[in-house]
Amino acid sequence: MNPLFAGLGTTIFETMSARARASGAINLGQGFPDGRGPEDVLAEAARALLEDSNQYPPMAGMPALREAVAAHYRVHQGLDLDAREVIVTSGATEALAAAIFALVTPGDEVVMFQPLYDAYLPLVQRAGGVARLVRLEPPEWRVTAQALAAVASERTRLVILNSPLNPTGTMIGTDELALIADFCTSHDAIAICDEVWEHVVFDGARHQSLMALPGMRERTVKIGSAGKIFSLTGWKVGWMCATPAISSVLAKAHQFLTFTTPPNLQAAAAYGLGKDVASFDTMRAGYQRSRDRLAAGLRGLGYTVLPSAATYFLNIDLAASGIAMDDVAFAQWLLDEAGVATIPVSAFYAQDAVTSVVRLCFAKQDATLDAALERMATRP
């Protein structure tokens, strides 16, 4: 057995959801909405399932979805992608695996930012990469030039960036993106940009892709997820976009991971990406209202809530809230004593963890948020 995998635990998301199911707790842990998702997108998936082919679609993705992804990014982010530069994957998770396996050769150094999404490190290590971790800290979680310089070497090959950032709910700022672009160009590194939260941004902000910065078009792999864009997290339809020199190599990894993705879900994702701009604004406004409802309720109970600019998540600062427990102890206490599941943010650190922050998912019905708040009135 591979010792790397034999030594791995179960992901924090599955662990907390399983505990919530077992105890009947309200689950504000794992990030998934409790609504049905857009009915018209669901209807298109049902139609395509019953009326269209259910045999293997083309390996790189159905032309309609590849074209829809390119067109969508042209309209929403001003990018000049060609459909041939888009490869459809089974969720962003598969895109991450394919990109990491395709681009890392053993011994390559891979720069990542902590808190880091839990899939990155095991995939990089399995590919033989050497992790160089930049530690971000609350409340601003900012990337600095000094921190980047400290992880640079002549073996730097890849940077993996997640923006908007899960679990912090922050967006990597324009000045930070410029630093990272500089870093990539001066070290001849490729950036894998996990942008699954690109549409879930609030307060009128717009997502900025690293790919749009000078010098980055030819060295960025941009990853997206239909699951996040349409609030259908179980769908597992994603994509990776890169210049032909890179995407042709990514396709080689993808062909032996999943080869392809269910055709009816690809058809529905293509339909959904073509919807008018207003429908995405409506989705964002709904989540913003939920964010504000949970944040206001928590503040009313005396919790210190860190700013959330994007994603389904907001964070509580325990020390500032006057709670003398670390995040793991508090999350356990909240589950056992109040019946609310959350995610301790230290789970997103491989070393030197921030242990005073707990993540809550606000992508829930008002009644669910209100019930959780009622339970959280009990404090340790």
Candidate list 27, 30, 220, 264; residue touching ligand GLN; CB under 6 A:
30
What does the alpha-carbon distance between residue 341 and residue 255 come to, in Å, rounded to a whole number? 37
Q: Does 114 bind ligand GLN (CB under 6 A)?
A: no
Total residues at the site for ligand GLN (CB under 6 A)? 5
- Nearest distance from C-beta of residue 235 to ligand PMP, angstroms: 8
- Nearest distance from C-beta of residue 374 to ligand PMP, angstroms: 27
Q: Per-residue x/- mask for ligand GLN, residues 152 to 171, rule CB under 6 A?
A: --------------x-----
Strands (DSSP E) contained in the chain are: 26-27, 86-89, 109-114, 130-135, 156-162, 190-194, 220-225, 238-241, 304-306, 313-317, 340-341, 343-344, 357-361
The answer to whether the beta carbons of residues 56 and 187 sit under 8 Å apart is no
Q: Does 13 bind ligand GLN (CB under 6 A)?
A: yes
Q: Does 31 bind ligand GLN (CB under 6 A)?
A: yes
Question: Which is nearer to ligand GLN, 135 or 236 (by Cβ)?
Answer: 236
Residue 261 interaction partner, one of ligand GLN, ligand PMP, none, beta carbon < 5-8 Å per kind = none
Radius of gyration of the chain (CA): 20
Residue 227 interaction partner, one of ligand GLN, ligand PMP, none, beta carbon < 5-8 Å per kind = ligand PMP
Closest to 103 (Cα-Cα) out of 198, 194, 220? 220
Q: Give me 217's structure tokens.
A: 């078009």
Q: By the criterion CB under 6 A, which residues form the site for ligand PMP?
A: 31, 91-93, 117, 162, 166, 194, 196, 225, 227, 233, 236, 238
Q: Does 264 bind ligand GLN (CB under 6 A)?
A: no
Q: Does 346 bind ligand GLN (CB under 6 A)?
A: no
Please provide residue 266's backbone torsions phi and psi, each rounded to the nearest 5 degrees: -65, -45
- Nearest distance from C-beta of residue 347 to ligand GLN, angstroms: 10
The 3-state DSSP class for residue 287 equals: helix
Closest to 45 (Cα-Cα) out of 181, 174, 226, 220? 226
How many CA atoms lie within 13 Å of 29's alpha carbon, on the beta-carbon side? 27
The answer to whether the beta carbons of residues 167 and 345 sit under 8 Å apart is yes
Residue 30 interaction partner, one of ligand PMP, ligand GLN, none, beta carbon < 5-8 Å per kind = ligand GLN
The 3-state DSSP class for residue 208 equals: coil
Question: Which is nearer to ligand GLN, 166 or 220 (by Cβ)?
Answer: 166
Binding residues for ligand GLN, per CB under 6 A? 11, 13, 30-31, 166
